Chain A
Amino acid sequence: RKEVEQDPGPFNVPEGATVAFNCTYSNSASQSFFWYRQDCRKEPKLLMSVYSSGNEDGRFTAQLNRASQYISLLIRDSKLSDSATYLCVVINYDKVIFGPGTSLSVIP
């Protein structure tokens, strides 16, 4: 089993839709979790941290479920500019593991 897994997609959604991504991780001792976005042929950019209590930033909400070992990202009111690949990141001590990413296309 891979350490961090994501549905590669693509997720094709209309503008204004709500879309959710999940990411599962295998190491229960993982300490920190993040979501990044990566635009085509660009470097990843940190989107937000993920906490058990949930983390909301505008239209984006991230959640951690330690019992089930997954993290989620919810995007409300999707914009065309949200089209990108969304990477989840899991940190085990000093080891930083990127998921393979989920591709999102927001369609007019």
Chain B
Amino acid sequence: GAGVSQSPSNKVTEKGKDVELRCDPISGHTALYWYRQRLGQGLEFLIYFQGNSAPDKSGLPSDRFSAERTGESVSTLTIQRTQQEDSAVYLCASTLRYFGPGTRLTVL
């Protein structure tokens, strides 16, 4: 089915490396959210895109985190100089109804 997809599903990286996570939302959905979920914890809001409006970046934890979205299509979340505390599952949601399966990031 045409749900939300994310890639990679798992990513293991070394501390200090940059990573790029991808989200393919459901076609036609204007709203896209990124969340982070650390093991055993709740969802932390990171960033929200709505159509061509300026994104709400209020949840990004540091300037190492950035996200882009071209129009109403694919979004990428980039984490520069990864740290061990960045280890988490990164979830993308297309509107609030449909979440992707997430990318499990492990920073060694």
Contact = CB atoms under 8 A, between A and B. Distances in A.
Contacts of B101: 42-43
A43 B104 CA distance: 11
B48 A43 contact: no
A96 interface: yes
Counting chain B residues whose Cβ lies within 8 A of the other chain, the interface size class is 10 to 19
Interface stretch (A11-19, A62-70, A75-83, A97-105): A97-105
A91 to B, nearest CB: 8
B42 A94 contact: no
B2 interface: no
Interface string B22-65: 00000000000101000001110100101000001010000000
Given A98-B43, A100-B41, A43 B91 contact: yes
A100 B43 CA distance: 7
Interface of B is mostly: strand
A98 B56 contact: no
B99 A44 contact: yes
A95 B96 contact: no
Given A43-B91, A43-B102, A97 B45 contact: yes
B96 A46 contact: yes
Most chain A CB atoms below 10 A, which of B33, B35, B43, B50: B43
A94 B97 contact: no
A99 B42 contact: yes
Interface residues of A, number: 17
Contacts of B91: 43-44
Contacts of B42: 87, 98-101
Nearest to B35: A98
Residue among A42, A43, A97, A101 with the most chain B CB within 10 A? A43
Interface of A: 34, 42-46, 87, 89, 91, 94-101
Given A95-B56, A98-B43, 4 more contacts: A46-B97, A87-B43, A94-B50, A95-B58
Interface of B: 33, 35, 41-43, 45, 48, 50, 56, 58, 91, 96-102
